[in-house]
């Protein structure tokens, strides 16, 4: 009995319950004097169907891992299991091989130990699938019985169904929140482990970043874990260079599109900008690493700067800025569009030109929204990984020269986690501490931005 058949069976039962309950309720309705019952027949149908399907699926969810364990127990209890290797990978290999043969996933055994176990496996699988099938039917039957016992003319099926739908919606919304909490918890846990090995002071204030995965894990050298150069590189590339590109260009394009562009032009340019937002960041990465970075190096050389880096912060920052333009532009566009027409009319009626109206009324009025957009853009830029991995350097330099190689938090996280370092080593755990800091910073930026946007909305409603 495969899982698919089981699911189809349960859904079939649910459908049957739906049809039967609905027609019974319809009968009640015909029988009643004024053709009124407490809920429409279709809600009785849904009530029965949900009571059949939901408990059964919940049971199946629980049963699957349990039956797995029971099968293994059964096989190990059989006399053939006595020859198994005691522990470790070998034992697992034999078991899984026997299992694959038993379920027909593999044609024959490779290991002779496994051959003896195929029989017990087949026996256990068939036994527990029968048990599972019977219990499933029982659960479905009792669910149906429960629902049908309550199927009466004055039963308020609609409110019950609505309540069930409501709880489903609630669970759906909780999933995202719980996932966030889970991510945070795992980050915090690993970060605490890291700070048990390296002092937070060294980490947050040190200026030398050169973790050595080969060094002794028990007595790490805290002075090699100074993350200031990474924080600086992140800020310099994501919040300074990228924003120097993105803010003016984004603002100007928003103003042009919102205030000056003819509708025909707007219908072309706006989607084009949105396409820019949809380009995978890895593609920007190629562009930064293969086109922009060498070009910047050549320009620097021709300007007489000796030995410029081919992995400059400038290249990564410029391309990231271009990537961010649509964010700034669309937030600014929305904010300017949200300024009431009355405000604009008021200014124009004073004899202000369109230019003066934009500069002195529209942009100041839209400023909170624009600032919020910029903050969201910064939080995206500093969390951006692919462009900097491809175009920025791995060398941690503390420098204000945009032509020098610099690294960012995200680049270092990638570098620390893609090695073969052990998860007990501070050089690996440092990635979690970096991630945690990044998470906190972007979280704070997002919260501020959302609050600003909210207050701004209230002002005009």
Partner 1 sequence: MSETADTTVKGSPLASQAQKSLADENVETGEPKMRARGVDVYYGNKKAIDSVDIDVYTEYVTAFIGPSGCGKSTFLRSLNRMNDTIPSARVTGTIELDGEDIYASGMDVVQLRARVGMVFQKPNPFPKSIYDNIAYGPKIHGLAEGKQDLDEVVEKSLRRAGLWEEVKDRLTDSGTALSGGQQQRLCIARAIAVDPEVILMDEPCSALDPIATAKIEELIDELRGRYGIVIVTHSMQQAARVSQRTAFFHLGNLVEYGHTSDIFTNPAEKRTQDYITGRYG
Phi-psi region of 143 (alpha: psi -120 to 50; beta: other; left: phi over 0): alpha
Minimum distance, C-beta of residue 351 to partner 1, in the bound complex (Å): 4
Minimum distance, C-beta of residue 254 to partner 1, in the bound complex (Å): 19
In the complex with partner 1, the residue whose CB is nearer, 152 or 359, is 359
From the list 422, 394, 434, 9, the residue with the least C-alpha distance to 200 is: 434
DSSP codes, 238-250: IIIIHHHHHHHHH
Provide the CB-side half-sphere exposure for 331 (13 A, CA). 26
Minimum distance, C-beta of residue 257 to partner 1, in the bound complex (Å): 16
In the complex with partner 1, the residue whose CB is nearer, 69 or 354, is 354
In the complex with partner 1, the residue whose CB is nearer, 163 or 359, is 359
Return the structure tokens found at 127: 């036994």
Rounded to an integer, what distance in angstroms lies between the CA atom of residue 373 and that of residue 246? Answer: 11
In the complex with partner 1, the residue whose CB is nearer, 87 or 268, is 268
Burial zone of 424 (CB within 10 Å; 0-12 exposed, 13-18 middle, 19+ buried)? exposed
Residues 6+ apart with CB under 8 A from 427: 211, 212, 213, 215, 220, 416, 421
Minimum distance, C-beta of residue 310 to partner 1, in the bound complex (Å): 49
CA distances, 45 to each of 11, 24, 140 (Å): 13, 9, 15
The 8 Å CB, 24+ separation contacts for 131-136 are: 131/67, 132/1, 132/6, 132/60, 132/63, 132/67, 133/1, 133/6, 135/59, 135/63, 136/6, 136/9, 136/10, 136/56, 136/59, 136/60, 136/63
Note whether 191 and 432 are within 8 A (CB). yes
In the complex with partner 1, the residue whose CB is nearer, 328 or 361, is 361
Rounded to an integer, what distance in angstroms lies between the CA atom of residue 331 and that of residue 311? Answer: 31
Minimum distance, C-beta of residue 342 to partner 1, in the bound complex (Å): 4
Axis-axis angle for helices 112-149, 3-31 (nearest 10)? 10
Minimum distance, C-beta of residue 344 to partner 1, in the bound complex (Å): 8
In the complex with partner 1, the residue whose CB is nearer, 99 or 344, is 344
Minimum distance, C-beta of residue 360 to partner 1, in the bound complex (Å): 7
Q: Give the interface with partner 1 as residue ranges (CB under 8 A).
A: 340, 342-353, 356, 360-361, 364-365, 459
In the complex with partner 1, the residue whose CB is nearer, 61 or 262, is 262
- What is the separation of C-alpha 358 from the centre of its chain, rounded to a whole number of angstroms? 38
Note whether 321 and 244 are within 8 A (CB). yes
In the complex with partner 1, the residue whose CB is nearer, 6 or 370, is 370
Minimum distance, C-beta of residue 461 to partner 1, in the bound complex (Å): 13
Minimum distance, C-beta of residue 338 to partner 1, in the bound complex (Å): 12
In the complex with partner 1, the residue whose CB is nearer, 62 or 350, is 350
């Amino acid at each position: 009995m495969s899982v698919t058949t089981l699911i189809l069976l349960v859904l079939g039962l649910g459908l049957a319950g739906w049809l039967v309950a609905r027609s019974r309720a319809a009968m009640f309705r015909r029988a009643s004097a004024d053709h009124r019952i407490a809920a429409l027949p279709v809600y009785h149908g849904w009530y029965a169907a949900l009571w059949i399907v939901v408990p059964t699926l919940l049971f199946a969810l629980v049963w699957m891992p349990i039956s797995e364990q029971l099968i293994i127990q059964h096989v190990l209890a059989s006399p053939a299991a006595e020859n198994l290797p005691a522990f470790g990978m070998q034992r697992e290999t034999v078991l899984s091989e026997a299992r694959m043969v038993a379920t027909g996933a593999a044609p024959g055994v490779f290991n002779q130990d496994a051959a003896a176990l195929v029989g017990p496996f087949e026996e256990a699988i068939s036994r527990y699938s029968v048990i599972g099938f019977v219990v499933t039917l029982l659960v479905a039957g009792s669910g149906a019985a429960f629902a049908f016992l309550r199927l009466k003319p004055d039963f308020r099926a609609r409110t019950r169904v609505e309540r069930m739908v409501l709880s489903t919606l609630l669970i759906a919304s909780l999933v995202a929140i719980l996932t966030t909490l889970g991510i945070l918890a795992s980050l915090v846990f690993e970060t605490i482990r890291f700070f048990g090995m390296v002092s937070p002071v060294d980490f947050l204030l040190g200026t030398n970043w050169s973790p050595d995965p080969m060094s002794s894990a028990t007595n790490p050298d805290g002075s090699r874990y100074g993350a200031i150069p990474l924080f600086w590189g992140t800020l310099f590339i994501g919040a300074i260079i990228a924003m120097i590109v993105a803010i003016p260009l984004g603002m100007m394009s928003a103003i042009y599109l919102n205030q000056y562009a003819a509708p025909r032009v707007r219908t072309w340019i706006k989607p084009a900008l949105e396409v820019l937002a949809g380009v995978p960041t890895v593609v920007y990465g190629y562009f930064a690493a293969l086109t922009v970075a060498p070009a910047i190096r050549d320009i620097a050389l021709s300007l007489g700067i000796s030995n410029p880096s081919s992995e400059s912060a400038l290249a990564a920052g410029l391309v990231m800025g271009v990537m961010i333009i649509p964010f700034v532009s669309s937030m600014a566009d929305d904010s300017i569009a949200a300024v009431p027409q009355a405000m604009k009319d008021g200014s124009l009626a004073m004899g202000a030109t369109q230019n003066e109206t934009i500069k002195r009324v529209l942009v100041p009025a839209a400023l909170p929204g624009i600032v919020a957009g910029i903050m969201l853009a910064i939080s995206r830029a500093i969390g951006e990984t692919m462009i900097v991995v491809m175009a920025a350097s791995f060398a941690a330099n503390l420098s204000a020269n945009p032509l020098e190689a610099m690294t960012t938090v995200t680049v270092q996280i990638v570098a620390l986690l893609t090695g073969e370092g052990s998860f007990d080593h501070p050089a690996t755990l440092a990635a979690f501490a970096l991630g945690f800091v990044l998470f906190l910073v972007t979280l704070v930026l997002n919260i501020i931005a959302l609050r600003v946007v909210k207050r701004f909305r209230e002002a005009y409603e």
